[in-house]
Amino acid sequence: MKFNDTNFRDILRQLVISAAVIIAFLVNVLSNIFPLNGLTIGEVSNTFFKNVLIIPASYAFAIWGLIYLGLFAFAIYQALPSQRENPNLRKTGYLLTIALIAQTIWVYLFLSRFFIASVFAMLLILVPLIVMYLGLGIGIGTVSRGEKWFIRYPISIYLGWISVATIVNIASALDINNWNGFGISAEAWTIIMVIIATFIAAIALFQRQDIAYSGVTVWALIAIAIKHLENPTLRLAAFSCTFLLIVISLFPNLTHSKNN
């Protein structure tokens, strides 16, 4: 194949995406080994946001291991010469890079206690991932097994967790700034947010049968329920929503889209 400007742009995109994944991973690791201002992300959360009920049990954040595994798989797969001219990857371009850059900024802002600013960084992660999710047509149409496992699943899992994290981040920022919740109790707001997260995951199931995305939501809901085992209201709400999503996923004939 003759080398031209199109080849160069494709190769550059492959290299930039790969570098972005590596840098985001290193920032995450280093933020835990050498935490800014002496506290890791988990420690900041446990110190400043003890009263934020929507935050799941600590073990739930282990999902970042799966997220990064998926992102590295994505980076390697999209960097293959055979994927250089993949129209789906060309169409989504640098959206993942934008999200990963925003993620590194979020780490700095959150560890620096700029919690309101961190919400905007989180949205800058979320929005490109949504656009990428829609652009890739995840859950719609048939793709190769490689694209399914190394492109669609990693993005679904990443977006699924960032969707949950956005809700948690907003709730935390409001709490630290003493928002009164319009007079609605923290428990009631938590149930509302659980329902919103469940509703979004249900849409992903109904429209796209996206088990990966909804599975992440189920993971978070169970962790919320376990954290609040002694609170019957929150426990019931989280487990009920979990059960609903599982039931929907077990009856694909309820949807109109065919999972590829």
Note the pLDDT tens digit of each residue in 107-146.
999 999 999 999 999 999 999 999 999 999 999 888 999 9
**90, pLDDT greater than 80:** yes
| C-alpha closest to that of 32 among 73, 80, 68, 86 | 68
CB-count burial class (<10 Å; 0-12, 13-18, 19+) for 82: exposed
Cα separation, 7 vs 227, in Å, equals 51
Domain assignment present for residue 123? The answer is yes
**How many domains does the chain divide into?**
1
Identify the pLDDT of residue 251.
Answer: 81
Name which residue leads in pLDDT, 4 or 164. 164
- What confidence category does residue 258 fall into, taking pLDDT thresholds of 50, 70 and 90? very low
d(CA 185, CA 181): 7
CB 66 within 8 A of CB 30: no
Find all residues with CB under 8 Å of 208, minimum gap 6, and list them: 138, 139, 140, 255, 257, 259
Place of tokens 């599982």: 246
Closest C-alpha among 115, 156, 113, 117 to residue 134: 156
pLDDT, tens digit (0-9, with 9 covering 90-100), for 22-62: 999 999 999 999 999 999 999 999 999 988 999 999 999 99
Q: Which residue has the higher pLDDT, 142 or 167?
A: 167
For residue 17, what are the domain limits?
5-254
Residue pLDDT, tens place only, 168-218: 999 999 999 999 989 999 999 999 999 999 999 999 999 999 999 999 999
CA distances from 18 to 42, 49, 80 (A): 27, 34, 11
* Residue 199 included in any domain: yes
Mean pLDDT, rounded, for 88-102: 96
What pLDDT sits at residue 3?
Answer: 58
Q: Is 107 within 8 Å of 27 (Cβ atoms)?
A: yes
pLDDT at 253: 60
Is residue 2's pLDDT more than 60? no
Does residue 24 sit within a domain? yes
Do residues 88 and 135 touch, judged by C-beta distance below 8 A? yes
Q: How far apart are CA 177 and CA 192, in angstroms?
A: 20
259 lies in some domain: no
Residue 32 within any structural domain of the chain: yes
Interatomic CA distance for residues 40 and 121, integer angstroms: 18
Per the structure block, which two tokens stand in for 98? 């934008």
Q: Extract the tokens encoding 28.
A: 């995450």
Does residue 74 carry a pLDDT above 60? yes
- Tokens 């925003």 sit at which residue? 102
Give the residue-averaged pLDDT of 92-119.
97
CA dist 150 and 70 (Å) reads 7
Question: Does residue 173 sit within a domain?
Answer: yes
Q: Is residue 260 part of a domain?
A: no
| pLDDT at residue 142 in the model | 86
